[in-house]
Homo-oligomer: A and B are copies of this chain.
Amino acid sequence: MVLKSESDLADLLGERWVVNKPEVVKKYGEEHVNTCYELVAPEPAEDCLLVKPGSAREVAEVLEYAGENSLPVFPRGGGTGLAANAVPDRPGLILALERLNDKIEVDETNLTVTCGAAVTLGDLLAELEDHESLYFPLHPGDEGAQIGGMAASNAGGVRAVKDGIMRDQIRGLKAVLPTGELATFGNPDGTLIKNNAGYDLMNLMIGSQGTLSVIVEVTLELKPRPQQSATLVIPFDEKEEAFAAVPDFLQEGHIPMAVEYVDRGQIMATADDLGKSWPADEGEGDLMIMLTGAAEEDIYELAAAIEGICRERGALNCYIAETAREQRDLLEVRSHILPAVEEDVLDGIDITVPRSRLAEAMRGIENISSEYGVDIPMLAHAADGNLHPFLMHEGDDPEKIPDYYEDLKHDLYDLTLELGGTVTGEHGVGSMRKEELARQYSEREIELMRRIKRAIDPQGILNPGKIFPDRVC
């Protein structure tokens, strides 16, 4: 089958763009999760073929061919995912979008940018350096992420507090349906604010993780670039107080761009590792709060209001970084936490709870940590209620998954769901969390999703084995 496909697909795309070299195919079948959480991430299936269409039309031709030949298709963007969503679980075609990277059109009048699916976050940020007044607020971390993949996975990240997640930035999409037809969703001109004609299929495609369509072009909203910024570092004697302070200032309408929580131990070790300093060294952990505004006095007012509320909640101090350089240094340390500990991390969890229940979630996680007698270091996008507890390698054998791993993970999920949370706030379900979906939703809710999957992809060729729990297949 694969041999026949290979020559057929070479006829469609050109020989150069159909690859069967096992080590190359394997590399394209892996994503960041395979290096990051190597032991617990699934290995890509063997016997896949890698195809690299060069246009939306060629993507459509590949899908049409796959449909005719009942071949599974696994779309792949920048490979920066943490849910094993682009990792093929059976033989099929790995559809790399990387050649759809040349279109990047900024529309200053309408405050939009239209990007080919494979334009990376880094490309976009570089392009916007030439447009001083414009700004793309989201920054999910790895700048190698592709805009198409960020749309398909509804990326989140640090800067979602003020301007929302990927879904909130998207004005229009072009995507190829599993049946090989090119469709437009929302407003691909990116310029229409209100549209009530028919069903909202755009939002259905966003976050559907390549199971309903292959996104080939995305139109994003841009914002006027904030003229001023500052970063606060606010240490707290106890973690719970830090988390309790967050809803307090948000409810009063003081909205920063980002609110991160960092553990004292981790952040100091990371700063050391980088040879940088970190302003706070007192207490159990810090809120790192990034502020933006139109004028300097807006920043000072916002900073003063937030500091006041945090001090009422027992904050020990408030450090402010004002120069661009100081702020960049702080962000660099924060961004380096994961790389610094990555070697010792077994799995990174992505739970989200209502932000009013952050302090309870923290207490629960500490209880679980004591119960199992293991350390659970944590990062948190605190204002979004999005917690990333890390399960660490413990014991003598770093090549072995500890016995308690599944139980501990499920205890964390149970805690999350009891608090009205979700098993994945931003990383998505992919392969890694599909059994957890059935913990979160009722059978009828999952069945509804399945019915939609079948309606749009009747043959089930697009990214099979993802999102839906196997056991009620």
Contacts and interface: CB of A to CB of B under 8 A. Distances in A.
Contacts of A454: 455
B425 A194 contact: yes
Interface string A140-181: 000000000000011010001000010100000000010001
Contact of A109 (B247, B253, B350, B384): B247
B191 A356 contact: yes
Interface residues of A, number: 80
Most buried by B among A195, A383, A385, A437: A195
Contacts of A207: 196, 199-200
A107 to B, nearest CB: 8
A355 interface: yes
Interface stretch (A10-18, A47-55, A312-320, A440-448): A440-448
A194 B352 contact: yes
Given A207-B200, A208-B199, A191 B424 contact: no
Contact of A354 (B189, B355, B441, B444): B189
Interface of A is mostly: loop
B451 A184 contact: no
B200 A429 contact: no
B449 A199 contact: yes
B195 A422 contact: yes
A39 interface: no
A31 B333 CA distance: 60
B197 A441 contact: yes
Contacts of A353: 192
Interface in A82-113: 108-111
A187 B441 CA distance: 11
Interface in A188-231: 189, 191-201, 203-204, 206-208, 212, 223-224
A128 interface: no
Nearest to A108: B251
Interface in A23-66: none
Given A196-B424, A197-B433, 19 more contacts: A109-B247, A110-B247, A110-B355, A183-B442, A191-B355, A192-B353, A192-B420, A193-B352, A193-B384, A194-B381, A194-B425, A196-B426, A197-B424, A198-B446, A199-B204, A199-B453, A203-B204, A223-B253, A224-B251
A451 B445 contact: no
A456 B446 contact: no
Contacts of A235: none
20 contacts: A108-B251, A109-B251, A110-B354, A110-B356, A154-B200, A181-B444, A191-B357, A191-B385, A192-B420, A193-B352, A193-B383, A193-B385, A195-B425, A197-B429, A198-B429, A199-B204, A199-B453, A201-B449, A203-B203, A223-B253
Most buried by B among A208, A247, A455: A455
A385 B444 contact: no
